[in-house]
Amino acid sequence: MLQKKERKIVDSFIKNERQEKLVKRAKELAERFKENTARIDQDAQLPFANIDMLKSAGFLGLAVPEEYGGEEISLYELVLVLEQLAQGDAATALGFGWHLGVLMDIRDRRTWDEETFKSLCLQIVEQNAFLNRAQTEPETGDPTRGGVPATTASNPNGKWILNGKKTYTTFGDALDHIIVKATIEGTEDIADFLVKADQEGIALEKKWDTLGMRGTRSDDLILENVEATLVETYDKERKEGLPPAWLLHIPPVYVGIALAARKEAIEFAKSYQPNSLPHPISEVPHIQSKIGELELELITGRHTLYSIAKKWDEDKEKRIAMAGELFAAKHVAVNAAIKAVDLSMKIVGGRSLSKDFPFERYYRDVRAGLHNPPVDDLTLHVLAGMALK
């Protein structure tokens, strides 16, 4: 059982014993992640130690179907887990979130050849294989905007061969399998290909030196005559299929950052007493006002996120029409998290800018959420289009 104080911020979202156990497991990992966070951020290094902890804890199989040995977590449970992990190390949570989200998407849509999917699942459960997608390219930008991949797929001798370059390949050096989107040569068809990451012709161009989320090591992926397995062709039916609920792995990471900032800020406010006051700053009206604003942001963001995840899990017949709500959940939660971190820093004051404290890292990391898909202007466009139909 979680301790009473530890449960205050999360217990309204824990609905059963299974969820409580998941949160407890994630919280234990998050506490261990904290030992590595500052170094990971400073050096922009991949969090291999944290990844090993995830593997040892059996977390890589969380989204694998039960029939293939996994825990088959729901979208709601995914949000619970990632929100906790991000309070320990946000970069680790985001990189792991891609693994969970991609796997959940394949699991829910079940458009792959079942034997191929089964083989992948067994490798994840039995060998701790790590998975991600590689979609973004310099020429296409955000893949949610519909750009056509410049990466090509050819089939000269009965084997699919890929050539091209991808950007933002999160956790590249830790991946065992990569799902690569490419255009089939001589056609306008776009397809997904499953690629083994340890083969010749695959290289990472180490260019990742960013303001925030430095530990994700989202480097460029170079593909030169790489063998691949065709797993899915994108056609009109696919594009009009289920909306990308799997992208809801993104907002809980940023909410987790905000929760970590909130905890630090409130502890500071309750303990810091300048010699100009007869009490801690937590009793100062303008500080209390900022704490109240912070709470409002997190209540709004988290309830939006969890309620939409719950609807996805419980109302399968309505999933097809949930694109606007899913996009809105990311928009509301991430922007609430950004405001909450800003308010936390205002509570702490100028020292929040010092690298002796974690706030400046929270500030940098949380802003990366603005650039994860779907971005805000696309969300507003989608919502407007739905309203005007």
Q: What is the pLDDT of residues 236-278, one digit of tens each?
A: 444 557 899 999 999 999 999 999 999 999 999 999 999 999 9
Q: What is the pLDDT of residue 241?
A: 78
Q: What is the pLDDT of residues 45-89, one digit of tens each?
A: 999 999 999 999 999 999 999 999 999 999 999 999 999 999 999
Question: What amino acid occupies position 46?
Answer: L
Q: What is the pLDDT of residue 147?
A: 78
Q: What is the pLDDT of residue 349?
A: 98
Mean pLDDT, to the nearest integer, of 325-332? 99
Query: In CATH terms, are 4-127 and 131-235 the same topology?
Result: no
Q: What is the pLDDT of residues 94-145, one digit of tens each?
A: 999 999 999 999 999 999 999 999 999 999 999 999 999 999 998 886 666 7
Q: 114 or 146: whose pLDDT is higher?
A: 114
Q: What is the pLDDT of residues 16-54, one digit of tens each?
A: 999 999 999 999 999 999 999 999 999 999 999 999 999
What is the fold, at CATH topology level, of the domain defined by 245-388? Butyryl-CoA Dehydrogenase, subunit A; domain 3 (1.20.140)
- pTM above 0.85? yes
Radius of gyration of the chain (CA): 21
Q: Does domain 4-127 have CATH number 1.10.540.10?
A: yes
Mean pLDDT, to the nearest integer, of 322-347? 99
Indicate if the pLDDT at residue 188 is higher than 80.
Answer: yes
Mean pLDDT estimate for the chain: 95
Q: pLDDT band for position 330 (50/70/90)?
A: very high
For residue 202, the cross-strand partners are: 223
Q: 156 or 211: whose pLDDT is higher?
A: 211
Q: Are 225 and 380 in contact (CB under 8 A)?
A: no
Domain ranges (residues) in the chain: 4-127, 131-235, 245-388
Candidates 364, 341, 335; CA nearest to 264 is 341
Q: What is the pLDDT of residue 39?
A: 97
What is the dotted CATH code of the domain comprising 131-235?
Answer: 2.40.110.10
Question: What amino acid occupies position 2?
Answer: L
Mean pLDDT, to the nearest integer, of 159-165? 98
